[in-house]
């Protein structure tokens, strides 16, 4: 019995055929991918005018938060459960509620991680998102086969080290793909 390949811990890169507010030019970190479906976070869609400072105020996380943390943008992680927060973070930090995705990445949904970030005691690198992207069983695989997505390895510098507006291009470059050469039509040899 062969084992089904998984894209868990990989990046999905939207092809031109993917349209719509959520996924056009998006880069998605896959937190889960199995025969039951897939779940991921869109990494390059900032919530309009929303920063860590807004979360800190709403959750009363304190006042002595460093400015570089306060100015961290919050991402729109996807169209599912848009009011639920997710913190994709480096594996140098573990706490209750942290789930290991790969050796480099953990995921946490607790307020405690936000408190740790605010105090400067959290993970060295993190990305905070509201909502997530979800696919039913077989749906993502079908979209990939229909020329909807490319995928590549996720490395911390790519995930945490790029501004949102440059991430799609950087992910394509990791694959050696020039975005000007992409077509929205699937071809056959």
Residue-wise DSSP of 147-185: T-EEEEE--HHHHHSS-HHHHHHHHHHHTT--GGG--SS
**pTM for the full predicted model:** 0.91
pLDDT of residue 117: 93
pLDDT of residue 21: 77
pLDDT of residue 5: 81
For residue 33, being part of any structural domain is answered with yes
Which uninterrupted H or E stretch holds 113?
helix 111-118
pLDDT of residue 144: 93
For residue 1, being part of any structural domain is answered with no
CATH number for position 96: 3.40.1740.10
Mean pLDDT by runs of 10 across the 189 residues of the chain is: 76 90 93 97 95 91 86 96 95 91 96 92 95 96 93 95 92 86 55
For residue 100, being part of any structural domain is answered with yes
For the chain, how many structural domains are there in total? 1
Q: Mapping DSSP to helix (H, G, I), strand (E, B) and coil, where does residue 27 land? A: strand
Question: Structural domain of residue 119, as residue ranges?
Answer: 10-180
For residue 154, being part of any structural domain is answered with yes
pLDDT of residue 95: 85
Answer whether 78's CB lies under 8 Å from 134's CB.
yes
pLDDT of residue 3: 57
Query: Would strands 126-136 and 73-76 be described as parallel, antiparallel, or unpaired?
Result: parallel
For residue 185, being part of any structural domain is answered with no
For residue 141, being part of any structural domain is answered with yes
pLDDT of residue 13: 96
Q: Is the dihedral of CA 180, 150, 127, 83 positive or negative?
A: positive
């Amino acid at each position: 019995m062969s084992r089904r390949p998984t894209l868990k811990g990989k990046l999905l890169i939207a092809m031109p055929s993917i349209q719509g507010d959520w996924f056009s030019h998006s880069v998605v970190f896959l937190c889960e991918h199995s025969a039951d479906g897939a779940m991921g976070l869109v990494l390059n869609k900032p919530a309009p005018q929303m920063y860590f400072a807004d979360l800190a105020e709403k959750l009363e996380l304190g006042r002595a938060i460093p400015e570089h943390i306060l100015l961290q943008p919050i991402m729109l992680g996807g169209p599912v459960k848009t009011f639920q927060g997710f913190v994709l973070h480096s594996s140098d930090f573990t706490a209750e509620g942290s789930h290991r995705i790969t050796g480099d990445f953990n995921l946490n949904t607790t307020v405690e991680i936000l408190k740790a970030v605010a105090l400067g005691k959290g993970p060295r690198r993190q990305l905070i998102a509201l909502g997530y992207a979800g696919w039913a069983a077989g749906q993502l695989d079908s979209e990939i086969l229909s020329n909807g997505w490319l995928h590549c390895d996720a490395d911390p510098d790519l995930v945490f080290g790029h501004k949102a507006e440059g991430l799609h291009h950087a992910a394509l470059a990791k694959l050696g793909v020039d975005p000007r050469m992409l077509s929205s039509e699937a071809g056959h040899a």
